[in-house]
Structure 1
């Protein structure tokens, strides 16, 4: 399967698509699981660590990754099923304020992300070639299913990069 091209996602989403350069996004998503687990669990003894006051903790980043995985997966499924209804955006900071990630064990937050990822992987594997090309609107912007698949992986990698660069 080919990578998504500009026009299949809005310009601000390129930062995620660019972090998932693989053509075989499903294999890349599968392979990423062990990397993500290792990088998150290196903070098991300091899940509340923030690289600076006011930034999200490791727990919060992990919970946010799970939330975003669920949203991106839902959007991909919605568009794959050719539903023309536009989908709303979500404000990550508002969602964070309404979460209780700080009270949950890091391992449980990671397991939630992994479960959402596994679910999305099964869903994506079951799509027909035509479904990957289908489009829809989310937060007023056009996306293809293919762009969301690459975005799932790129979003994960973006946060792992932040953890590696600023939290370690």
Structure 2
């Protein structure tokens, strides 16, 4: 399955930007793995003095954004699990700024952040590999918006790609 196979009713309009940032060249499972390696290599090539840099007052550092990417992937994967198990419970949204303030990503080493990112992504890949075709099509509700299991997989990748572009445009 590829992002162009998604229907607009499988995700909130807010997420269209993330989904558009996912290549149609690979399947969801292939892109989950490829984007893991691409992101780690990208981050490893960032000069050490940039990890604690923020481009403006009140903006996150690169480390904070990596931590945010990890936290968001966990939230999206949890939603995918709930929806794939046909859980009809409305799931709440989450406030990313509150998470970032509590996570203190900027106080962590880049090695720890990348190790955690890799572990979370491997868990996400195993989770999505466990879903059958019917489960991938199931739709639940999060933050008052419909979301399919498969759309959540592409949102995970697109969210990561979005932040990598932000690094390139505003931090490096």
TM-score, normalisation: structure 2 = 0.93
SS in 2 for 1:7: helix
**Secondary structure of 2:9 counterpart:** coil
User: Which TM-score applies when normalising by structure 1?
Assistant: 0.95
Segments of 5+ residues of structure 2 without an aligned counterpart are none
In 2, Cα distance between equivalents of 1:9 and 1:21 = 18
- Structure 1: runs of 5 or more not aligned: none
Which of the pair is proportionally richer in helix?
Answer: 2
Residue 21 of structure 2 is matched in structure 1 by 19
Query: In the comparison of the two structures, how many residue pairs are matched?
Result: 168
CA distance in 2, matches of 1:84, 1:110: 34
Which string of whole-angstrom CA distances, capped at 9 and with x for unpartnered residues, describes residues 19-57 of structure 1?
114261110111112210122122351210112222110
* 1:41 and 2:44 matched: yes
From 118, 125, 150, the equivalent of 1:121 is: 125
Mapped to 1, the partners of 2:97 and 2:127 lie a distance apart of 28
Aligned partner of 1:163 among 162, 167, 170: 167
- CA shift, 1:99, in A, is 1.5
Structure 1 counterpart SS, 2:73? helix
